[in-house]
Amino acid sequence: MPGGVNSPVRSFKAVSGTPVFISRGKGQYIYDVDGNKYTDYMSSWGPLILGHAAPVVVRAVKKAAEKGTSYGAPCEGEVELAKLIVKAFPSIDMVRMTSSGTEATMSGVRLARAYTKRDYIVKFEGCYHGHADYLLVQAGSGATTFGTPSSPGVPESFTEKTLLANYNDLDSVSGLYDKYRDKIAAVIIEPVAANMGVVPPSDGFLEGLREITSGSGSLLIFDEVITGFRLGMGGAQRKYGVTPDITCLGKIIGGGLPVGAFGGKKEIMSRVAPLGPMYQAGTLSGNPLAMAAGLATLRKLKEPGNYKKLRALSRNMVEGIKEIIKKVGIKAAVNSVDSMFTLFFTETNPVDYRTVLKSDTIKYSKFFENLLRAGIMFPPSQFEAVFLSLAHTERDVDRTLDAVYKALKAV
């Protein structure tokens, strides 16, 4: 395997280390093949909001597996999950399941182009929407980690209709619309950026995008692969009160199993085959195991008090880290939204991709190594998010803060 891994950021190259190979996970913990135990704050990059091997999810998957692992045909679970998603999200009347977040965003963009009969799309520097060729332009996540924001192997002709704007900068979007107004099919954005580290939207930013797109006949696509169901049952769009035209969702709707989805208003989604001419398909779309895991996860999340508990845990963690930063006197800042955050080694809180790139990645690497030795697993990159789960406890937070204090002091 290239680099010994199946996804670049797992290689620990960004933190000058050797990757940890995991043998199992349970609750808030993961265990490596050498028997070391870590309190995990990656949560499989976000979707394991109930923790590892949550009993309710494991039971659901076992029960589903006994009936078959794949049908390539409709099943009851996908209808039930679709109903739950439609009820939760203001923007979604109809939804189509996929096998990954990349498939969801790729299909969402294709749908926007089909619906508007326009070719150009606007994306933001540092926002990652999967590894489709035309979206690998100034992308975040692993592309930022390794200093290659665009990838070889992507012809210029594939990206010439992808326009770049600056996150939290409405003027940069308006400038593109001044030049390409009648050619832009859609704006695609992470409503809370999380693939360059967590960067919240500034006041009025999402509202401004809604106004610009609505006034020009183009669509607004929210990539909620990370924020969907993590920030609440209605994701970022319900939290911020801004309704997009198309929403893309990721593995949290499958309890961490391979799944994604895109959805929107009936008029738009009716363009998707077999109702309309825009083709999209997948043998594993609506896979019965993923549907069962997703239903179990989302039903658990709906129980009263779960989001309140998760936000309180996260708030205690973030405020504790901020106090430690002051106490130690190190140049660092924390950006957070609900149960996800990033500790940046910068003088001020980053507000866009350019300020994110001012982070001291060497300091982060040392910080990460110190935490790992203490049995705390943060993401092996400065440009990713920390995720808390319902499996974490106040005791975990206290222990983690103690480790963070020692790690920052050592840095």
Q: Write the pLDDT tens digit of every residue in 303-330.
A: 999 999 999 999 999 999 999 999 999 9
Catalytic-role residue among 29, 38, 41, 128: 128
- Which residue among 301, 317, 344 closes a domain? 301
Judge if pTM exceeds 0.85.
yes
Same domain, 282 and 158: yes
Residue 376 maps to which CATH number? 3.90.1150.10
Same domain, 135 and 59: yes
Catalytic-role residue among 223, 245, 360, 396: 223
pLDDT digits (tens, 9 = 90+) for 202-245: 999 999 999 999 999 999 999 999 999 999 999 999 999 999 99
**Is-catalytic flag, 331?**
no
Out of 11-20, 223-232, 344-353, 368-377, least confident range: 11-20
Given this model, what pLDDT does residue 10 score?
84
Same domain, 262 and 127: yes
Same domain, 374 and 361: yes
Same domain, 154 and 284: yes
Same domain, 211 and 188: yes
Same domain, 118 and 129: yes
Q: Kindly give the interhelix angle for 306-328 and 394-410, rounded to the nearest 10 degrees.
A: 20
Structural domain including 217 reads 55-301
Q: What is the DSSP string of 64-133?
A: HHTT-S--SS--HHHHHHHHHHHHH-TT-SEEEEESSHHHHHHHHHHHHHHHHT--EEEEETT----S-G
Given this model, what pLDDT does residue 138 score?
60
Does 149 sit behind a cis peptide bond, omega within 30 degrees of 0 on the bond before it? no
Task: Answer whether residue 5 shows pLDDT above 90.
Answer: no
Same domain, 198 and 232: yes
Residue 204 maps to which CATH number? 3.40.640.10
Average pLDDT along the chain: 93
**Is-catalytic flag, 352?**
no
Same domain, 59 and 49: no
Given this model, what pLDDT does residue 149 score?
40
pLDDT digits (tens, 9 = 90+) for 129-162: 987 777 776 654 544 433 334 567 777 777 788 8
Task: Answer whether residue 171 shows pLDDT above 70.
Answer: yes
pLDDT digits (tens, 9 = 90+) for 356-371: 999 999 999 999 999 9
Task: Answer whether residue 332 shows pLDDT above 70.
Answer: yes
Same domain, 124 and 175: yes
Cβ contact 44:230 at 8 Å: no
Task: Answer whether residue 189 shows pLDDT above 60.
Answer: yes
Confidence of residue 13 (pLDDT cuts 50, 70, 90): confident
Same domain, 221 and 293: yes
Look at the chain and report how many structural domains it folds into. Answer: 2
**Is-catalytic flag, 117?**
no
Catalytic-role residue among 123, 251, 363, 366: 251
